[in-house]
Structure 1
């Protein structure tokens, strides 16, 4: 039986348990009983950490750490006790996000958001299944899609949508590896986003607010749907950005500033709504997009459909059809 010790700060703790030792790091779990001032209540907490081994196990420099409080620890113990056996029988029987484990997944998502090292440590040591991390990611994306559909019913400024896409760049597709912090192309041109594509080159994203800017002109031209004046201006702006960034292609100072090279940049323009289009308008959109080699136009409804396709129909709870109205 482990010996219970007391730290200089009055925290009782059990002998730490080494979970795994590798060449450069080791992982360890530590149970603690933490007293509260002015009350007899004491919480049991669990600290899980991965530590470097520059000079052996004496090193306590954390590579990553996660401390679960009493409530989270109870949830984790329940989860493991209820699901460990199904895991040994087959991964397909391991987790059902729609039932009790959903609460744990939400807690896990909150705890490890932005801490991929911690998530990886828990998974590698068998404390949590990688399915939990996947489920947490699905929940986060589902929430983003629900937020998108709700906010499309409201009048939001362009700044709001810029921030939403910053938090949810996954909806733009797998071509984009990251958003580059730098937005300034030159003294006259500032893009919404300069993106680094998966091949290491620069692309652009330009965002206009979804409501109040018509996609099609109010009247047809020779029986054809044509872009509105606002859309034509936005397309022209994208083409000017592309031209400006191509002019900087040979600038060592510019490429060093953005950390990527410039070769044949493309621009995604997010503009307007399309939920109420008829077949003729959808055909006109296809023709319009085909006319540009370096600009691709998407509506907010295209973004919504793309996001749902990424998640899969089963990952999204029904949020009704009201989101389709302006």
Structure 2
């Protein structure tokens, strides 16, 4: 059957009701061996359904079976490896190949047509290609190209956030989606976000971030960028939290209590692996691009008086992204230059 043709697919619930199974898909069926794949769909209340696959090999002569289950992340890695191997299989000769994903390069908004053309011309130049073949390790070259694509993706993400703010997009779900796709914006202190966000009855956090160092979780609460962060009291001549910020701080206080109570046992029974011990929370709200130094100092001062909760603006998040991008760009360019021996 052609891979583009429609196929019948039966998805049915398991007896437990906790997950669903798909039809058995035959990979190989000979007189001796039957190899099948069984899709397993694991639903989550607050994230997309997770896909796993069970591989079953049956020896028809002995009746012996062996099974292996691949999780969702395993399938993504396998899919990438298969795509790369298939692209190499289209070539007739053995050798060392650089398999490069190029669709991400187009996302670099500041990449001019001249720059793209120059890269293409250089790669087509036989003399240049010979130099690379003799002096550059193909694996190192692949890493250098991957770094360039990664920097382009980060740069495109920063540009996207800038456009959201500049064009006055104020809905929380816009920034929720952006933060879920770009958890790197919160720094290398975190591994990634969690898909699971329900931490208790009535408590649904925006982002749970897993600490790189401890494996414990911190909370990020997102509010609208058009809301006031702090206000000034002319009578008493002091700054104070706006009503929107104060409500968000109160929410985080409840979240932290819930996570702290769950520290010993995790969030049983749904996610026993998610634990927190003295967790932190960060509220992201409002803009600060037009603030003067006194107001920025006031926000810093109010934050310093709180314990376990901090407030930052979307412009401060954007500045943090620019700093991270500059650091990654400088590090990757230096590594690539040293590794390849190519200089500008």
On the 8 A contact 1:249/1:255 being kept in 2, the answer is no
On the 8 A contact 2:206/2:222 being kept in 1, the answer is yes
> Following the alignment from structure 2 to structure 1, what is the Cα–Cα distance between the partners of residues 157 and 252?
26
Q: Which residue of 2 aligns with 1:295?
A: 309
TM-score w.r.t. length of structure 1: 0.60
1:294: Cα distance to partner? 0.8
1:126: Cα distance to partner? 3.5
1:129: Cα distance to partner? 3.2
- 1:209 correspondence with 2:224: yes
TM-score w.r.t. length of structure 2: 0.57
Q: Which residue of 2 aligns with 1:175?
A: 189
Instruction: Map 1:1-326 onto structure 2 (within 5 A).
Output: 29-31=88-90, 79=123, 81=125, 83-84=128-129, 87=132, 125-126=138-139, 128-153=141-166, 154-198=168-212, 199-211=214-226, 213-217=227-231, 219-220=233-234, 222-254=236-268, 257=271, 259-312=273-326
> Following the alignment from structure 1 to structure 2, what is the Cα–Cα distance between the partners of residues 221 and 286?
21
1:155: Cα distance to partner? 2.5
1:265: Cα distance to partner? 0.6
On the 8 A contact 2:230/2:299 being kept in 1, the answer is no
1:261: Cα distance to partner? 2.7
1:303: Cα distance to partner? 0.9
Cα deviation code 1:149-198 (max 9, x no counterpart): 11102223111110000111111111111111110011121100112111
On the 8 A contact 1:214/1:228 being kept in 2, the answer is yes
> Following the alignment from structure 1 to structure 2, what is the Cα–Cα distance between the partners of residues 274 and 68?
37
**Aligned positions, number:** 228
Unpaired segments ≥5 residues, structure 2: 1-84, 104-118, 331-344
> Following the alignment from structure 1 to structure 2, what is the Cα–Cα distance between the partners of residues 279 and 68?
43
On the 8 A contact 1:217/1:229 being kept in 2, the answer is no
> Following the alignment from structure 1 to structure 2, what is the Cα–Cα distance between the partners of residues 269 and 258?
25
On the 8 A contact 1:218/1:228 being kept in 2, the answer is no
Query: Quick one: structure 1 residues 284 and 258, their matched pair in 2 at CA, closer, same or farther if it must change by over 3 Å?
Result: farther
Unpaired segments ≥5 residues, structure 1: 1-26, 34-45, 50-64, 70-74, 92-123, 317-326
> Following the alignment from structure 2 to structure 1, what is the Cα–Cα distance between the partners of residues 129 and 324?
29
